Structure 1
Amino acid sequence: MLWPYRTPGIPDDLFEQLPGIPLSKREVRLLMLSYLRLEAHSVVWDIGAGTGTIPIEIGLLCPKNTIVAVERDSDVANLIRRNCDRFGVKNVQVIEGNAPDCLEKVQPRPQRVCLEGGRPIKAILEFVWDCLEPEGRLIATASNLETLYAISEGFAELQARNIEVVQPVINRLETRGNHQTFASVHPIFILSGEKL
């Protein structure tokens, strides 16, 4: 078994990757999972799933969850499928298409949403918020100021409650030549909110 542990935090290099396709780094992934506040029997949507790290971690942690991973590019969607196969994750449904249009007929509706990208981000946020079950949670990531502002504004307009925003600073020890040095992991904001 590729990851035989009951804890999250799969090393990044265990996932099959494609050049230019985003991968949520392990330490950031751990924070994202904690802000989702997963339950044993939930429906989780991951929009902009990239390499599929979040759906796979959720699938391993909560095998009775139903996870929908959304990606617009068929090559990236196939990458998610291959990574699910690598880890033996069976409870992830991969949907190819542009959000929010491709989500119109997806059932059942989610209790948790992870929004990791997509344009127009605010329109996607508003659509999935309407789909989100009452008492549901939505987390979103932002790697630039414009996305951070759009998500923050969207949360305010949607009257999300218990909003939290974190920007973790993570450094990893790396070997460069004969020396070991700390290198910063790409900075990202994680925003979370709850629906009344």
Structure 2
Amino acid sequence: MHIYDKDFIHGELPMTKQEVRAVSIAKLQLEDDSVLIDVGAGTGTIGIEAATYIKNGKVIGIEKEEKGLEVIRENVKKFNLDNYFLIHGRAPENIPEINYDRMFIGGSTGGMREIVAHFMQYSKKNSRLVINAITLETLSSSMEILKEFGFKDIEVVNLMVGRGKKVGPYTMMYGENPIYIITVVKEEKI
């Protein structure tokens, strides 16, 4: 079930908005038993919502910022999740060396190449990698890195959301930040 922004605890921290979250999770094409690595988990909204879809799988969230960790813990408790595991650390050095089939990158702190290398080494065949990029620089460098690793079929979606707000008797549309959602699938011959 989709979780609305208003249902998450997030305090003053920015979070992935519900429309972007819905598309990003759809691009992951989660299975009931998927193992998702959520890199740069932030407030945890992607991984937490994903955990509600994978009843026989698990989500491993990796976040370096203490404020984000606190919010994630509160939301894991709020949604009563026993399949979400949180690691305080940075990627790729704190990503567990386990087999997994899904990875979401919401933040890489300059370690994108090494994180993709981890994906290539530890993810299973037909695993899906989804990257959300807010800046053109992140989009550009992500595309270059994915090509270096041999990905040829790189899907990029640009999502722009406008939200209506009441201004007197009128409704005006205000735009959220546009986001790029990049998706690749690890095939056997890459």
Query: What TM-score, normalized to structure 1?
Result: 0.89
Residue aligning to 1:13: 6
Structure 2 residue 166 is matched with structure 1 residue 190: no
Residue aligning to 1:116: 106
Q: Aligned partners of 2:109 and 2:97: how far apart in 1?
A: 22
Q: Offset at 1:191?
A: 0.1
Amino acid at match of 1:180: T
Q: Aligned partners of 2:49 and 2:11: how far apart in 1?
A: 19
Q: Which moved more, 1:168-177 or 1:38-47?
A: 168-177
Residue aligning to 1:4: none
Q: In angstroms, what is the RMSD of aligned CA positions?
A: 1.5
What SS is found at the alignment partner of 2:41?
coil
What SS is found at the alignment partner of 1:39?
coil
Q: Does the CA contact (< 8 Å) of 2:4 and 2:18 recur in 1? A: yes
Q: Which moved more, 1:155-164 or 1:34-43?
A: 155-164
Amino acid at match of 2:11: L
Q: Offset at 1:138?
A: 0.2
Q: Which has the higher strand share?
A: 2
What SS is found at the alignment partner of 1:134?
strand
Q: Aligned partners of 2:11 and 2:121: how far apart in 1?
A: 33
* Same amino acid, percent of matched pairs: 30
Q: Aligned partners of 2:114 and 2:141: how far apart in 1?
A: 10
Match of 1:88 among 72, 80, 91: 80
Q: Which runs of 5+ in 2 are unaligned?
A: none
Q: Offset at 1:125?
A: 2.5
Q: Aligned partners of 1:188 and 1:73: how far apart in 2?
A: 22
Residue aligning to 2:172: 181
Q: Offset at 1:153?
A: 0.6
Q: Offset at 1:107?
A: 4.8
Q: Does the CA contact (< 8 Å) of 1:161 and 1:195 recur in 2? A: no
Amino acid at match of 2:98: P
Q: Which runs of 5+ in 1 are unaligned?
A: 1-6
